[in-house]
Amino acid sequence: QKNLHLLTAEQIELAKILLETGQSHLFEHWAEPGGDDEEKKAFLDQVTRLNSSYPGGLASYIKTARELLADSKDGKNPFDGFTPSVPTGETLTFGDDSFISFEEAGVKEARKAAFVLVAGGLGERLGYNGIKLALPRETTTGTCFLQYYIESILALQDANSKLSPPGESQTKIPLVIMTSDDTHSRTLELLESNSYFGMEPTQVKLLKQEKVACLDDNDARLAVDPRNKYRIQTKPHGHGDVHSLLYSSGLLNIWREAGLRWVLFFQDTNGLLFNGIPAALGVSFTRQYHVNSLAVPRKAKDAIGGITRLTHADGRTMVINVEYNQLDPLLRATGYPDGDANSETGYSPFPGNINQLILELGPYIEELTKTGGAIKEFVNPKYKDASKTSFKSSTRLECMMQDYPKTLPPTARVGFTVMEPWLAYAPVKNNPEDAAKVPKGNPYHSATSGEMLVYRANSLILRKAGVQVADPEQQVFNGQEVEVWPRITWKPKWAITFTGIKSKVSGSCSISQRSTLVTKGRNVFINDHSLDGALIIDPADDAEVKVEGSVQNKGWVLEPVDYKDTSVPEELRIRGFRINKIEQLEKN
Ligand code: UGB
């Protein structure tokens, strides 16, 4: 009461809400009136932010927290009443006729697409100190993930413009990046210091997610920040925030008015993503999916969720990601005694969610208009003991972007598209020590594998296009045994579809295992060429270049580095090798 003069009318209402929802402890340690006024105001400013950034405000957050904490205390199974089964979706084989026609349809649809990159996470599992978007996708060219993503979107834009009738204005595909306090300024700096990697700055929008209030006990008492008694402790709420942020930004309606039809969500470190995007967008278009999740065959126990059909005893059914830690108990409780296990194919029968979603904009807006973008949340408190009455440390509500379909009506068309494991998924998530402990045969998801899988995919794609690419050699880096294929890379503008690649290589071409081939130009045509060494082709943007004949030199060699050797830059240490550029032919 005695501090009311410090507050705006809105803040007085908020303070009342806090008192009515059992949060009076937040004010108990306040200095006498007249003391710490600036801190008190800053506290209410923080409360205002926490209130406005959560759909339904703090009262709703506290109410949901109480319900979820009670369910967690009672050990309630979130899948109670649901039986899992293997869903059916579209399974693609790279390069066959149906893949090529889905790619064609996808490239046409790209003019109606907007891309949304969730990049608010710091990647604690990776143990890297920078933002993950700035990590090199591969170290042959040093291209970082953000550059690869932007150049791929620009390549799609470019491919699409060639299809549009002359005189029609050129498509500009929008890109939204969700950041957080942990990543915002460094993401902006990466964009600005690189001229947005060729994208027009107006095409790119950054939306920053806010953290949510931490909870101290089962009554959902908000936690006082241990570092400042005039602040509430906060933690990240998860990538599910992207939906409410997009909704409140107003962008969705702007996109609809501009004639857009698709929103594509993707994550911060998948160096193979765009190998699958055109075809998957073609699947969304052809099958008229409201929701299309990209998936890969999943090894049992792999730390990616499984796409599952859940059927409730009351008849409700949905196709949804079941997170990796929940899949095994769910299966065991519902008649699969072996739990999360591989079938005779060597893979789990449940496709692996790679968290790249394609949503149809119209139905998406319709749904968010009802929900405000709120996503079904969960809570994961670490209890002190079996009485489940107190926590080891404060907890908070969390949400995941792939849980969006949970609130959809049964009429919604929810599907998925399975890509071959080598083609479209190579994330960088695990630190070297954890990666080395991954069960044999399961993917490492490390910086080492992330880079090696790019070379592997590019080699296999060129093989499919008729190039004789030599077999890989096995090598061990950072305790992980990997296949080392020729280090082949190209800029997305060289080709973004299989048809594009086939139009650029012809005749009898071969590449030896120890080779490096870097193709930077748009109009580079490789014909009757053999490479045994390193060849770098870097022409002025649109110059036409013909690569023919044979090239042989000492080439570029991978040299192991010890990830504990702090004299080596962190982005090299985490992959366990560096490239020694001994000799190359460079054509500019
Ligand atoms: N992210 C945010 O933008 N904000 C946040 O608050 C948190 C994360 P992780 P996770 O690809 O294999 C997901 O931490 O959540 C961004 C799926 O749930 O890398 O453990 C972050 O920057 C899982 O089903 O992954 O697991 C990053 O871009 C599986 O698909 C993205 O969200 C798994 O990814 C993912 O964050 C996978």
pLDDT digits (tens, 9 = 90+) for 45-67: 999 999 998 988 999 999 999 99
Query: For all residues of the chain together, what is the average pLDDT?
Result: 94
124-133, 183-192, 396-405: the lowest-pLDDT one: 124-133
Give the model's pLDDT for residue 248. 93
- H or E segment at 329? helix 324-333
- H or E segment at 185? helix 184-192
Give the model's pLDDT for residue 65. 97
Decide if pLDDT at 75 tops 80: yes
pLDDT in tens, 495-549: 999 999 999 999 999 999 999 999 999 999 999 999 999 999 999 878 999 999 9
In this structure, which residue's CA is closest to atom 24 in ligand 1? 305
Say yes or no: ipTM exceeds 0.95.
yes
Decide if pLDDT at 348 tops 80: yes
| Cβ proximity of 327 and 320 under 8 Å | no
Decide if pLDDT at 337 tops 80: yes
Q: How far apart are the first and last CA of the chain?
A: 73
Decide if pLDDT at 1 tops 80: no
Of 495, 493, 585, 581, nearest to 548 by C-alpha is: 585
**Ligand 1 centroid to 116 CA: how many Å?**
14
**Ligand 1 centroid to 121 CA: how many Å?**
7
Residue from 124, 149, 355 whose mutation best tests the ligand 1 pocket (most atoms within 8 A of CB):
355
Count of other CB atoms within 10 angstroms of residue 148: 25
347 band by pLDDT with thresholds 50, 70 and 90 = very high
Q: How far is it, in rounded angstroms, from Cα 584 to Cα 553?
A: 6
Give the model's pLDDT for residue 541. 79
The mean per-residue pLDDT over the stretch 249-269 comes to 97
pLDDT in tens, 452-505: 999 999 999 999 999 999 999 999 999 999 999 999 999 999 999 999 999 999
Give the model's pLDDT for residue 104. 96
Three-class SS of residue 349?
strand
Give the model's pLDDT for residue 551. 98
The mean per-residue pLDDT over the stretch 232-258 comes to 96
Give the model's pLDDT for residue 55. 85
Q: How far is it, in rounded angstroms, from Cα 471 to Cα 454?
A: 15
Decide if pLDDT at 8 tops 90: no
Give the model's pLDDT for residue 258. 95
In this structure, which residue's CA is closest to atom 31 in ligand 1? 267
**Ligand 1 centroid to 290 CA: how many Å?**
22
280 band by pLDDT with thresholds 50, 70 and 90 = very high
Angle at which helices 184-192 and 145-163 cross, to 10° = 60
pLDDT in tens, 411-426: 899 999 999 989 999 9
Decide if pLDDT at 363 tops 80: yes
CA-based torsion, 357, 362, 367, 368: positive or negative? positive
Give the model's pLDDT for residue 496. 96
pLDDT in tens, 95-142: 999 999 999 999 999 999 999 999 999 878 898 999 999 999 999 999
349 band by pLDDT with thresholds 50, 70 and 90 = very high
Pocket of ligand 1 (CB under 6 A): 118-121, 178, 180, 236, 238-239, 267-268, 304-305, 321, 323, 353-355, 400, 427, 429
Decide if pLDDT at 357 tops 90: yes
Contacts of residues 538-543 at CB distance under 8 Å and 24 or more positions apart, as own/partner, are 538/586, 538/587, 538/588, 539/587, 539/588
Q: How far is it, in rounded angstroms, from Cα 202 to Cα 346?
A: 47
